[in-house]
Structure 1
Amino acid sequence: MAKQGKAIDDPEIIAISQVYAALKDLDADARSRVLVYVAGKFSITNTIGAGKEISHEIPVTQPEAVTVAIDDELEGISPAGKKWIARNGIKPSALGSIFSLGIDEIDLVSKSVPGSKKAQRMRNVFLLKGVSAYLGTGAARFTHEQIKETCLHYDAWDGPNFANIFKTMSAEVSGNKESGYTLTAKGLSEATSLVKSMTGQEA
């Protein structure tokens, strides 16, 4: 199925799709009441207002196609991951440059990881690995073996200093070698900022 990235990135098209989905099952009178009320809340008087006849046909530009395209972009992503994407306004199409979307196991596939020093890259690998797990399973949790393998790939593994570096991440990552690691709420927040920075979507 062809993806419609441009439509997905257009906030007006997304808004139209959401409005259509909310109104399509209501009867004509209910649609009118909702539209008049919302128009009043936003002081929209030039197109919809009290006392004016409102068409019960809601103008929509192929909402079903937009919905299908969005679902196609988010295929394989956990419900929690989808909420994270929507809540933070991250473009699904941009995530493909960092994570292997659309396959059974979502993983970190970025060509590089930010950081001029190993300690910086190790922290960023921890954060990104947590996001990849969150997108795939809904839990930002991964094993010591997984993080070591990924750090080695990005030249971010510093075995002799691992314990000291990990201590500096205590507010962002919890766990240990035996039980595995999990991003904390702060860690997920920091990871979100990192992903936005890597995809050019800084707030």
Structure 2
Amino acid sequence: MILYKDIVEFDIVIMKQILQKHGTDEEAWRLFRHFYVDPDGYPINEQGLRTRNGVECTADTIISTYRIRMHEGFNEQFINTFAQYRRTPMIFFPRELGGINTSRAARFGDRIDHALYDLKRYYDKKPCILASAYALPKTQRWLQSFNDFHELVVWMEIDGVLIDDNDEVFDLEKNDGSVICDYYKKYTRAWSESYYHNVKEKIKPLIRD
């Protein structure tokens, strides 16, 4: 069985070969993208995909290859960051077309804190931006398997890292211990340098050997 970790190792080999033979320019990046395999859809161990209430869940990266390249370039540091932050699958959502994984990237510019804030609103029975994704059959069954947002957070093992003791979502743009209280008026795909740095620092406790 090909596992998540196997794909990460494969990608790192490809990165090193391309950098060695083709350098760090745009053409080298395009070549890497041609051969790159996203590890998120692969089982995390020999038992297969993580499941909850009969629903298969796949990993959803917090820092994508696109994001690393935008902030650090395609170079040796890219490899180091990828190896550090992608070797551990950190967040899991149901495997379903149009589900949370892809929807949060499109609607929140891939910001995990705002996606979690939206999920909290779902359990608080407030209007949600990702309501259409939550209504999908598998996603709905998965969501209903948790009694509340706290149970979901504990299952994800992100309590105390992305979520405070009161089950509020830390604002990673500010990164001063404050929590998210509302949506942005507009979300873009671009992250500020401070947000990128804050996310990297915040999720370090989620990295496991």
- TM-score tier, shorter chain, comes to 0.3 to 0.5
TM-score by structure 2 length? 0.37
Greater gyration radius? 1
